[in-house]
Chain A
Amino acid sequence: MGRYIFIGLCFVLFSCGEEVKTPAAVPNDLSTTILNSTETIVAGETVTLEFDIRGGVEPILILEKSFGPLLFHPKMNDSVATFSIPASHIQQSGVYNWQLTVLSKLLEVGEFKVLPKTEKTVGIETYFGPRSIRAGGDDFSMLFMVPVDIYDNPLPDGTVVSINKQMDQEVKVITALTKNGYVWKNLFSSERAGRMLVNTSTNNIHSKELTSMISPSNSVDFKITYNRVHDFADGNQVVIFKTDQIKDRFGNTVSDGTLVNFSIEEDKGTILKTKGSTIDGVATGRILHPTEASDWRVTAYITGEAKSNDATLSFRTAVGDFEVQFSENNRFVRVGPILGFMDQLVPDGLLITLEVYDKNGKFIEKATTNSSKGIGLFDMEERFFPNDDYKIKLTAAGIQREFQVALTSDELE
């Protein structure tokens, strides 16, 4: 029997059940008097709120700060409830609301204001940007400042912030007043490229140095010159184009690396391009001499900003007439030796073109070769050119020679 009682007891002890929370009733004789409250204090002080609570209950205080609420239990002394809120919870400035409650009943509400601790200013948050601007006085870097006290509270409105701005070898001091905890100023560039150095101070607290780069403004039109070894179109030497020192309208040399495009228009309408980037405002562009006589007109551009004057230069043909020999039933063509402007063998690589037409003048084939030691060779094999009369055009360095040849085969074979 005892065993059954034990099992029964276990059931009773370990059985599940919903915990029933019956809220205690609010006493009828509940009354509250505010004994001590605060209106305005400075951050980091303690606050004591005292209430006289009749009805034998212990109230709870909810304190709503900027970032969230806190809950406090009182020290009861007879009917006097004292809430001492430690200084560590009164560090943030702003409005604090409090509610006194007993058993879900709101008894009293109130608020106090916590001011920032101005005499303990510890820093100025500074944000400076954009950090790269252009000269000329239209562009600016914006300085955004939030002076804060020891508890990281923005200082009250009307705090004087002075801004030191070093630019063009002089220091200017600007003062500004905070509003809503912050202050901002646009610091404009001058006509001179360089750096703008800024620092701020308030209540004898100084910020670090901030820098903004002032880069030159848009370039203005400039001049170009060229330089070459000779004026022969030998396809071997390099022409060098050079700008003068490119500047903006305030006389600042443009930033290194500014890209300059040189555009060359040939007399036959072809456009050639080369480019260079500036170092100390000067850009150089290089291009190979042409292979035949031509006239060039050169203009340089900085895209979207400036252009140069037109430079014209002409090239003379570097090659005189040349010999052509036919052999092996006219099927083997030897061009040259081709001689240069001072009777030297032209540098290797001169382009020689062979064009073949039938006897009615219809184009059949084009072949190219490059000269080697002044000589170019063509082999017109029978497989491609059956025995017949042909017209042959040979072109080298812009010089053209024409031949009427009969291609035959070796009868003996």
Chain B
Amino acid sequence: MNWNRLLIRIVLIISFVGVNALILFGISSVWSYLNTGADRSSRLHLNLEEVQTYLPKVVWDTSRVEGRPIEPRTLAKIERDYLNGWYVKNTALFSNNRYGVKDYFTDSAQAKVSKILDYNSSNKSSFKQTTLEHNPKLDFYSADGTQIYFTDTNVELYQEAYDNGVPILEKEETTSYKVIMLLEDGFWRIRHFTKAENSEIRQKQAEVLSDSIQNLLKNMKGLNYYPQDTPWDVFGKKYSDSTIAKDFGLIKNMGLNTIRIFIPYEDFGAAHVDGKKLEKVKSLLDIAHENQLMAVVTLFDFYGNYDVFDWTLTHRHAEQVVNALKEHPALLAWDLKNEPDLDFNSRQKSVVMAWLRKMHEKVHSWDPKHPITVGWATPEAAINLSDKLDFISFHYYRDISEFKSSFDKLKSSVTDSNKPIVLQEYGVSSYSGLWNGFRGSDEYQAEYYKEMQSILKEADIPFLFWTLYDFTQVPNSVVGWRPWRKQPQKHYGCIGLDGKPKPAMKYLTQE
């Protein structure tokens, strides 16, 4: 009886509190909903920042414009709206959703785009495409500044077609378009857009590597370089010429001739490369040159999105880095990407390979003089693109006993037997602790290098070992947060945390 009353009381009180909480929650959600967008500064969209998501290379030819000369500001605005038009169309073709099409196509042009989207939508097909290069030749700009005509020649288009979500074809094409655009409510909109025959087809010339570069590649002896205090962040705030000079002096005294350095993608400003960081790279290369060291520059470190919609941004990044460094005498080669094969599962092999193929083509067009490679994580993966790359690079962290057979297998599968094959990363950690059952030691590491160096010497394999120093800090982005992966990563150096050479140094120093 008493229990029942108590129970009823409890239920009543709890439901009362609950109902009140619900009412308060309801009122507050209505209140906050009504207040969204009421912020005065956001009401007029005055502080919207333009984010550039589509940056194909555009080269205008305005040498012969009829009607009226074009002002550079107007041209920039036309270019922006034209590219935005491409961008919204590309995203629309992928999602079959018309978002944004209205802003960059006039009503009648929109109808034509919609027709394609409707058909593809009903057909469950979609297309992922991006343009990489535009060469518009401006022919006409009207006196009142509201109509233009241009021929966009040699538009480089890359496209992946999907049927019901299944990729069916990836292709590249080079086409030309006749474009009439109109200025309507502040937007330059595409009015007529007609595909035309491509008049000129440019030939890509293949260049053969000079003997001197071949020799440099074949005699590569060196290491992957990070300073002891700033691993994975060489060009950050703590960058110091004196540290680099000291380290490079050391590397030179070890009898080595090559270093491999890394350019992080996001850290360098992605599509808009930070000039200050490039200056630091140049300064590092200057010091390398003073010490008779050559550098393999690895692009796109910490980059993992190979999506077609991201291509133009990565191309602009690489273009700026390559053009800034390509004349440097200490530059030996470009490494397009470190261990891209590790992304094959998460990003699909075909996507990664397409990105690499295009990037190779682009870097080669900006700098035809320097050899290009990709730092594959395993000798098995290194067969990818082996016909295109100027030399082959692979990493090896597995058991020594299998090394020679893996290498021989790779060598035999490469068609051009003259192509240098570089062991671009290898080494072993001297870490001894809880996470590896106290198995490692400095002597173990020395033994590894003793054996490894004799194999490399015998087979005459160019090498870059990992690495000069032991590190106190390893960022999570390198090997993750798990201590059994992170702790060993700190002890791959041939110089310990105390700055003294470890026993392995003996075997890594060249006569």
Judge whether B112 and A152 touch: CB under 8 Å.
Answer: yes
Would you call A67 and B116 a contact (CB within 8 A)?
Answer: yes
Q: Compute how far the CA of A127 lies from the CA of B143 in the bound complex, rounded to whole angstroms.
A: 11
Q: Provided the pairs A66-B195, A96-B195 are in contact, do residues A182 and B180 lie with their beta carbons within 8 angstroms?
A: yes
A70 contacts the other chain (CB 8 A): yes
When A67-B89, A99-B169, A101-B169 are in contact, do A153 and B163 touch as well, CB less than 8 Å? no
Contacts of A67 on B, CB cut-off 8 Å?
89, 109, 112-113, 116, 193
Q: At the interface with chain B, which of A139-147, A233-241, A287-295, A402-410?
A: A139-147
Shortest beta-carbon distance, B145 to chain A, in Å? 8
When the two chains form their complex, are residues A104 and B142 in contact, meaning their CB atoms are under 8 A apart?
A: no
Query: A69-B161, A71-B120, A96-B195 are contacts. A62–B169 as well, Cβ < 8 Å?
Result: yes
The answer for the CA separation of A93 and B112 in the assembled complex, in Å, is: 12
- Kindly state the separation between the CA atoms of A67 and B114 in the bound complex, as whole angstroms: 10
Determine if B127 and A69 form an interchain contact, defined as CB atoms under 8 angstroms apart.
yes
A129 near B143: Cβ-Cβ < 8 Å: yes
Among B116, B143, B149, B177, contact of A130 (Cβ-Cβ < 8 Å): B143
Contacts of A181 in B (CB 8 A): 149, 178, 180, 192, 194
B108 at the interface (CB under 8 A from A): yes
Q: Which of A71, A94, A184 is close to B142, meaning CB atoms less than 8 Å apart?
A: A184
Cα–Cα, bound, A152→B112 (Å): 10
Report whether A89 and B142 are in contact in the complex, using a CB–CB cutoff of 8 Å: no
**Chain A residues within 8 Å of B89, by CB:** 67-68
- Choice from A89, A96, A141, A180 contacting B149 with Cβ under 8 Å: A180
Q: Mark B104-121, 1 if CB is under 8 A from A, else 0.
A: 000011001101110110
Instruction: Give complex CA distance A144, B149 in Å.
Output: 11
Q: How far is the CA of A83 from the CA of B330 in the complex (A)?
A: 57
Pairwise interchain contact B169-A106, C-beta atoms closer than 8 A: yes
- The residue that A106 contacts in the complex, of B108, B113, B171, with Cβ under 8 A, is B171
Size range of the interface on A?
A: 35 or more
Beta-carbon contacts of B174-188 to A below 8 Å, as 1s and 0s? 010110101000000
The contact of A69 among B93, B149, B151, by CB within 8 Å, is B93
Is the pair B194, A68 in contact by a Cβ cutoff of 8 Å? no
Chain A: CB-nearest residue to B116: A68
Q: Are A68 and B192 in contact (CB under 8 A)?
A: no
Cα A182 to Cα B159 in complex, Å, equals 31
A141–B68 Cα gap in the complex (Å)? 12
Residue A95 CB within 8 A of the other chain: yes
By a CB distance below 8 angstroms, the chain A residues around B167 are 104
Chain B CB within 8 A of A186 CB: yes
As a 0/1 sequence over residues 57 to 88 of chain A, the CB contacts with chain B under 8 angstroms (1 = contact) are 00010101111111100000000000000001
Q: Is the CB of B142 within 8 A of A144?
A: yes
| A142/B192 in contact, CB under 8 A | no
Please determine whether B195 and A94 come into contact, CB atoms closer than 8 angstroms: yes
Interfacial chain B residues near A68, Cβ < 8 Å: 89, 93, 113, 116-117, 120, 127
Q: How far is the CA of A140 from the CA of B67 in the complex (A)?
A: 11
Report yes or no: B127 in contact with A142, Cβ–Cβ below 8 A: no
Which residues of chain A come closer than 8 Å to B161, judged between CB atoms? 60, 62, 69, 71, 101
Q: Name the residue in A67, A152, A153 with the highest tally of chain B Cβ atoms < 10 Å from its Cβ.
A: A67
A153 touches B194 (CB 8 A): yes
Report if B267 contacts A (CB, 8 A).
no
Picked from A104, A125, A141, A142, the residue with its CB within 8 Å of the CB of B169 is A104
- Verify if B173 is at the interface (C-beta below 8 Å from A): yes
**A285 beta carbon closer than 8 Å to chain B:** no
Q: How far apart are the CA atoms of A113 and B163 in the complex, in Å?
A: 25
Residues of A within 8 A of B178 (CB): 94, 180-181
Which listed residue, A66, A70, A89, touches B193 by the CB 8 Å rule?
Answer: A66
Query: How far, in whole Å, are A95 and B117 apart by their CA atoms in the complex?
Result: 19
B67 touches A146 (CB 8 A): no
Please give me the residue from chain B that is nearest to A89 by CB atom. B119
Whole-angstrom CA separation of A69 from B162 in the bound complex: 11
Contact A95/B195 with A69-B127, A71-B163, A144-B142 known, Cβ cut-off 8 Å = yes
Most buried by B among A69, A70, A127, A146: A69
Q: How far is the CA of A13 from the CA of B119 in the complex (A)?
A: 36
User: How far, in Å, is A94 (CB) from chain B's closest CB?
Assistant: 4
Set B144, B151, B173, B182: member contacting A180, Cβ < 8 A: B151
> C-beta contact mask, A38-69 vs B, less than 8 Å → 1, else 0?
00000000000000000000001010111111
Q: Kindly state whether residue A268 has any CB partner on chain B within 8 Å.
A: no
For B163, the chain A residues whose CB sits under 8 A away are 60, 71
- Which residues of the partner chain A approach B140 to less than 8 Å between Cβ atoms? 144, 182, 184
Q: Does B125 contact A (CB under 8 A)?
A: yes
Q: Mark A99-115, 1 if CB is under 8 A from B, else 0.
A: 10101101000000100
Give the most central of A93, A140, A144: most B CB within 10 Å: A144
B123 within 8 A of partner (CB): yes
> Given that A71-B120, A94-B194 are contacting pairs, would A180 and B139 also be in contact in the complex, using a CB cutoff of 8 Å?
yes
- Chain B residue with Cβ nearest A68: B116
Q: Is the CB of A152 within 8 A of B108?
A: yes
Which residues of the partner chain A approach B127 to less than 8 Å between Cβ atoms? 68-69
Chain B residue numbers with a CB within 8 Å of A62 are 161, 168-169, 171
Residue B147, interface by CB 8 Å: yes
B166 lies within 8 A of chain A by Cβ = yes
The answer to whether B342 has its CB under 8 Å from any CB of chain A is: no
Say yes or no: A142 contacts B67, CB within 8 Å.
yes
A146-B192 contact, Cβ under 8 Å, with A64-B173, A101-B169: yes
B41 to A: closest C-beta gap in Å: 37
**A172-194 interface bits toward B, Cβ cutoff 8 Å, 1 = contact, 0 = none:** 00000000111010100000000
The reply to whether the CB of B196 lies closer than 8 angstroms to some CB of chain A is: yes
What is the CB-to-nearest-CB distance from A322 to chain B, in angstroms, rounded to a whole number?
A: 66
Of the A-B pairs whose beta carbons lie under 8 Å apart in the complex, a sample of 17, sorted by A's number, is A65-B195, A66-B195, A67-B113, A68-B113, A68-B117, A69-B116, A70-B119, A94-B194, A101-B168, A104-B167, A106-B169, A113-B197, A129-B142, A129-B143, A144-B142, A181-B149, A184-B67
With A89-B119, A106-B171 already in contact, 20 other A-B pairs whose C-beta atoms are closer than 8 Å: A62-B168, A64-B173, A67-B112, A69-B93, A69-B161, A70-B119, A70-B125, A97-B173, A104-B167, A104-B168, A104-B169, A104-B170, A127-B146, A127-B182, A129-B142, A129-B143, A129-B146, A144-B147, A146-B192, A184-B67
Closest CB pairs A-B (n = 3): A129-B144, A71-B125, A142-B143
